[in-house]
Amino acid sequence: MSTWLITGCSTGFGRALAIAVLERGDNAIVTAREVSAVTDLVGDHADTALALALDVTDPVQVRAAVERGVERFGGIDVLINNAGYGYRAAVEEGDDADVRTLFDTHFFGTVDLIKAVLPQMRARRSGTIVNFSSIGAKVHPAGSGYYAAVKSAIEGLTGSLRKELEPLGITAMVIEPGGFRTDFAGRSLTQSAEAIDDYADTAGKRRKESDPTHGTQPGDPAKFAQAVLTAVDAEDTPEMLVVGVDAVPAYRAVLEAQLASLEKWSALGEGTGYDS
């Protein structure tokens, strides 16, 4: 039996993962900013579930959640850094305070949780850290530059973290989802207060009032959760798991385009060394 700490369990991916983990008999520390949003998850799992309030931007709450989880279950085997929300704005439109809050939540919240769980993982020489990214980190949609940037930062951090942890018996992976039928494009989506007319045909098309995708995304969160469990359980847990019927072909198209561009400009790039 493994113990999972999952952030952002009130809705979406976090809730789907919490349900899947508990239904298969594992322990789960289920968290949300308001604990009342996750107490129902305990339900018939009083012995294996612990519901806690956790705002990932609050380092005191982060440390307390990890300490409570370790005290209750003896250790944390899997950390799921899922908590977050969407933010859309043309780069010029982005509000500085909004962008800093976005990074505090997605990036620095993830870092604080990693630092909080790693000492007990290192002591046991085992554990898995799963950090959530987005296909947006690869396809870079207009109007999602800041969101793509924070998720790209998480991917870079996780790649290095994995190399640091592998000799210690711990692994780290990134999940890169596509479109799933969660609240991401609805309640969980924020945007800049300002909309500049010159971006109406690019970033403007992704503003909430112009985006009809909420509730029609192709992905099933329950199947997503099972895919994550399979990857975490695998002996060769992937460094990155791209998940979604839309995400896999989109990622493939980006890789093909990048390879074509690399080959086209390789002579110029490689011609920059000192002459013999």
Q: Which position among 87, 146, 147, 251 bears the catalytic label?
A: 147
Structure tokens given for 24: 């298969």
Q: Above pLDDT 90, what percent of the chain?
A: 87
Q: Which position among 2, 133, 144, 192 bears the catalytic label?
A: 133
Q: How confident is the model at residue 144 (pLDDT cuts 50, 70, 90)?
A: very high
Residue 53's SS3 state is strand
Integer angstrom CA distances of residue 108 from 12, 39, 154, 190: 21, 26, 9, 19
Respond yes or no: is residue 133 known to be catalytic: yes
**What is the pLDDT at residue 177?**
94
Respond yes or no: is residue 151 known to be catalytic: yes
Judged against a pLDDT cut of 90, whether residue 83 lies above it is answered with yes
- CATH numbers and ranges of domains, the chain: 3-246 (3.40.50.720)
For residues 110 and 83, what is the distance between their CA atoms, to the nearest angstrom? 9
Q: What residues contact 232, with CB distance under 8 A and at least 6 apart?
A: 78, 128, 130, 173
Judged against a pLDDT cut of 70, whether residue 59 lies above it is answered with yes
Q: What is the pLDDT of residues 165-180, one digit of tens each?
A: 999 999 999 999 998 8
Residue 96's SS3 state is helix
Q: How confident is the model at residue 186 (pLDDT cuts 50, 70, 90)?
A: low
DSSP-derived secondary structure letter, 274 = P
Respond yes or no: is residue 147 known to be catalytic: yes
Q: What pTM, to 2 d.p., does this model score?
A: 0.93
**What is the pLDDT at residue 214?**
66
> Residue 144's beta-bridge partner residues?
89
Q: Which position among 151, 192, 199, 251 bears the catalytic label?
A: 151
